[in-house]
Chains A and B, each alone.
Chain A
Amino acid sequence: AQSVAQPEDQVNVAEGNPLTVKCTYSVSGNPYLFWYVQYPNRGLQFLLKYITGDNLVKGSYGFEAEFNKSQTSFHLKKPSALVSDSALYFCAVRDGKDIFGKGTRLHILP
């Protein structure tokens, strides 16, 4: 069965520092990977996806993610964190439908 794992429940980063939110995957066949963000009192929003091609994919709000086949990882990154990036982040793998990880809460400290 396809699955993703987010090993960190919470990540704290100082504003202006780079951030990384980790995701590893387990799939049979080609992985189709997604990141979503959930801001307080708002619905889930699509950030970016990896289907094929370049290992570094760029998405909304300055986020990017690096696909690493050998490490079966798809970590979300941003070069300089903003306080407004504080939210709940979900990694997902597409298997007909999206199968989500349990989420990582990102706190950006002013």
Chain B
Amino acid sequence: GAGVSQTPSNKVTEKGKYVELRCDPISGHTALYWYRQSLGQGPEFLIYFQGTGAADDSGLPNDRFFAVRPEGSVSTLKIQRTERGDSAVYLCASSPGVGPLYGYTFGSGTRLTVV
């Protein structure tokens, strides 16, 4: 597509529930990144993929968070047993490759609210 698409744009869930957030990157972009942004803060890195594999998952806060990219295109961020502290805007970005040559193209984000 023309840009990075994230669905849903908003998600309200109850504490303890499971959620999935989807990211559809720009066609042909091999690198895909997930960030989390809380109000008044900069984006916080979670995980990034090069192709199908997770190149760096050091930002995932705990084992309730997991992400996949099975075919090297669409990615899903999965959060189990959600907690109120998980409430944030989850951002996805993609780039043609890794390395310093490329800036990222971000999606509009998914606003997750855990009640």
Known: A94-B100, A97-B45. A46 touches B105 (CB 8 A): yes
In the complex, which residues 24-66 of chain A have their Cβ closer than 8 Å to any Cβ of chain B? 32, 34, 36, 42-47, 49, 51
B interface: dominant SS:
loop
| Distance in Å: Cβ of A25 to nearest Cβ of chain B | 13
In the complex, which residues 42-57 of chain B have their Cβ closer than 8 Å to any Cβ of chain A? 42-45, 48, 55-56
* Chain B interfacial residues counted at CB < 8 A: 24
Known: A44-B43, A103-B41. A96 touches B48 (CB 8 A): yes
- B residues in contact with A74, CB < 8 Å: none
Give the CA-CA distance A59 to B101 in the complex, in Å.
14
Contact between A97 and B100, CB atoms less than 8 A apart: no
Contact between A100 and B103, CB atoms less than 8 A apart: no
Contact between B48 and A49, CB atoms less than 8 A apart: no
Would you list 28 pairs from A and B whose C-beta atoms are within 8 A, ordered by A residue? A34-B103, A36-B106, A43-B4, A43-B106, A43-B107, A43-B108, A43-B109, A44-B91, A44-B93, A45-B106, A47-B103, A51-B100, A90-B42, A94-B100, A96-B48, A96-B56, A97-B45, A97-B56, A98-B45, A98-B104, A100-B35, A100-B42, A100-B43, A101-B42, A102-B41, A102-B42, A103-B40, A103-B42
User: What residues make up the interface of A, taking CB atoms closer than 8 Å to B?
Assistant: 32, 34, 36, 42-47, 49, 51, 90, 94, 96-103
